[in-house]
Amino acid sequence: MLRLPKTRVAKPTTVAQAVALLVEHGEVAMPIAGGTDLLPNMKHGLFEPEVLVALGGIKELQRFELQTDGTLILGAGVSLDRIAADERVQRTAPALAQAAGLVAGPQLRRMGTLGGNVMLDTRCQWYNQTHFWRQALGYCLKKDGTVCHVVAGGKKCVAAASNDTAPTLMTLQATLVFEGRSGRREVAIDDLWHTDGIHNKKLGTDEILVEVRVPPRATGHRGAYGKLRERGSIDYPMLGVAARLDVGRDGAVEGADLVLVALQARPVRVRRAAELLIGVPSSGDNFAEAVAAVAEAAYAQAHPMPNIPGDHEWRREMVPVYVARTLHAAATGTGPVHHV
Amino acid sequence: MASLLLNVNGDQLEVTAPDHWTLLEVLRYRLGLTGSKQGCDKGDCGACTVQIDGEPQLACLALATLCEGRAITTIEGLMPAHLRAGGKGPDPLQDAFDRCGALQCGFCQPGMLLSAKALLERSPDPSRDEIRHALAGNLCRCTGYTQIFQAVELAAAEAQGRAPTPPAWHPDGNPWMPACSKAPAKGESR
């Protein structure tokens, strides 16, 4: 039995009220949406907020619109299940729908939100454990200790970004809208991240993610998401691959993007690898050759560490495999790439 | 300590519980509804699955105070709802689990049933793949899942008024015992 630490729950009905509560209580308050990540972490003694500001009753966070210009507006409180099942998202931003549909298991996708997945805490096999377990180990850099168990002598936390939707939103060049004490601000999702596993987001404690805006996609937009995990039914990613291809009228690739997750503290873009696809026909032998070259380049850039479950050398060997499969899935409009 | 008004299995119940209690803790330790199981207690196993507003969700990761005003269905609510709707005996899905031997230790079964029940409500005649996906968040250590899938298929087939497809391995056609709500024929054992 895992008990939650004592806390009080506040139930604001507007974003402004929620921000006011976070400002009022400062460091001892935390926002809670679906709770599927925060509550296990609290049960493990990783967070002990005195006040939880529950965002579930805020209607503004449920916005879900595909605007006429193609902009997709997704409230932070929309469940992952709704995003995965939505025909508009499947059609216009397939990688995002696929990634949302591969987060955890069905019950967790109904409870968990897009905002919660974007704002997910980093994960490490030495950190996501009960207090008893961590105490027996002597704690770690990320919480209560001074030693890193991943990198001998390491002084910087390397817990892994493990959010499936984040790399797809990076390939889609999404903007995040935050509200805090100084009003609203928009942040390109690429600019959200630190490379510090303890706090991998540039964010004030008074700020709430309100919505995610995905700008209009190119006419020939194609996307896919690939996920490597231990069990096909539930786990966090051991590797996530988000791919975007913009295919021109002549069938050649005009734009490409590739972002990997679950390697280090932030999602990693492998830009130079993706650029190898520019100008290449999006099918046939030339495409297959270019994809193989991209996969090799991604392998050279990816260096998984023993921070999350799964042998890290095997995870590295899987990088070119999943990159190639995900690019082929994007080109052919299939996906997700996933084992069951 | 706060007073909560919860709608559990169609009953409006007033309970007191601190804010940090989960719905599972309130169900089990305040209301005595121990059908929802406390397994991993952190969202991995699905043994605590209940329906919240008709959707299977995890009671171990739902704060009870945030469940006010929502309709909660636990395993204890399935048979009474079936009887209220004019049925006899247990819910036909429970009956199908029984007849298929879709359990050994039974720990995962309440959660399995609530996930499967919600599936049949949104998709009355699901494919094997749909069943697999709908039950992906409910782990079973005993059965290997096959008989669970067959039980869902049996309940779906009977609700549609057609004979279920017998498993390929069975030489004599339908291997299942008759439904609980039907009186056993003379000489027929249950």
What does the pLDDT read at residue B89? Answer: 93
- β-pairing, A337-338 vs A221-228, is parallel
State yes or no: pLDDT of B188 exceeds 60.
Answer: no
B185 falls within a domain: no
Reading phi first (left if > 0) and then psi (alpha if -120 to 50, else beta), residue B101 is in left
Bridge partners of residue B49, in order along the sequence: B58
| Mean pLDDT, rounded, of chain A | 97
- What is the extent of the structural domain holding B21? 2-77
Q: Which one-letter DSSP state was computed for residue B42? A: S
Amino acid at B88: K
CB atoms within 10 A of CB A247: 21
pLDDT of residue B190: 45
Domain stop point among A44, A62, A80 = A62
- Residue A84 domain-assigned (yes or no): no
Angstrom distance (rounded) from CA B135 to CA B158: 20
Cis status, amide bond into A336, omega within 30 of 0: yes
Residues of A in contact with B19 (CB under 8 A): 6-9, 52
A71 within some domain: no
Position B103 pLDDT exceeds 60: yes
Domain contains B178: no
Task: State whether residue B148 sits within 8 Å of chain A by CB.
Answer: no
- Is residue B180 included in any domain, yes or no? no
- Domain-embedded: residue A269: yes
- Determine the structural domain holding residue A33 and report its residue range: 1-62
User: What are the start-end ranges of the H helices in chain A?
Assistant: 15-25, 38-43, 80-85, 87-92, 94-101, 106-111, 114-118, 131-137, 165-171, 271-275, 284-301, 312-332
CATH number at residue B50: 3.10.20.30
Q: Smallest Cβ distance to B61: which of A11, A35, A44?
A: A35
- Same domain, yes or no, for B60 and B102? no
**Which residue from B28, B13, B154 is spatially nearest to B71, judged by alpha carbons?**
B13
Q: How many domains does chain A have?
A: 2
Give the pLDDT confidence of A219-230 residue by residue, as tens digits.
999 999 999 999
Cis bond before residue B171 (omega within 30° of 0): no
Q: Give the closest of B49, B66, B133 to A107, CB-based.
A: B49
pLDDT in tens, A155-186: 999 999 999 999 999 999 999 999 999 999 99
Please indicate, yes or no, if residue A234 is contained in any of the structural domains: yes
List the CATH number of the domain containing A27. Answer: 3.30.43.10
Higher pLDDT, B184 or A91: A91
Residues B72 and B6 placed together within one structural domain of the fold: yes
**Residue B31: pLDDT over 50:** yes
CATH number of the domain bearing residue B95: 1.10.150.120
Domain count, chain B: 2
Q: Which residues does B29 contact at the CB level (< 8 Å), separation at least 6?
A: none
Separation between Cα atoms, residue A260 and residue B59, nearest integer Å? 33
Task: Please say which residue of B30, B45, B77 terminates a domain.
Answer: B77
Q: Flag if B58 and A108 touch (Cβ within 8 Å).
A: yes
Q: Is residue B176 part of a domain?
A: no
Tell me, yes or no, whether A156 lies in a domain: no
Work out the pLDDT band at A340, boundaries 50, 70, 90: low
> What amino acid is encoded at A31 in this protein?
P
Pair (B17, B73) in one structural domain: yes
Residue keyed to tokens 């056993």: B184
Residues B96 and B60 in one domain: no
Q: CA A60, CA A93: separation in Å to the nearest integer?
A: 22
Mean pLDDT score, A288-304: 96
CB-based burial of residue B34 (10 Å sphere; 0-12 exposed, 13-18 middle, 19+ buried)? Answer: middle
- Same domain? B70 vs B7: yes
Shared domain for B100 and B144, answered yes or no, is yes
| A36 reaches B (C-beta below 8 A) | yes
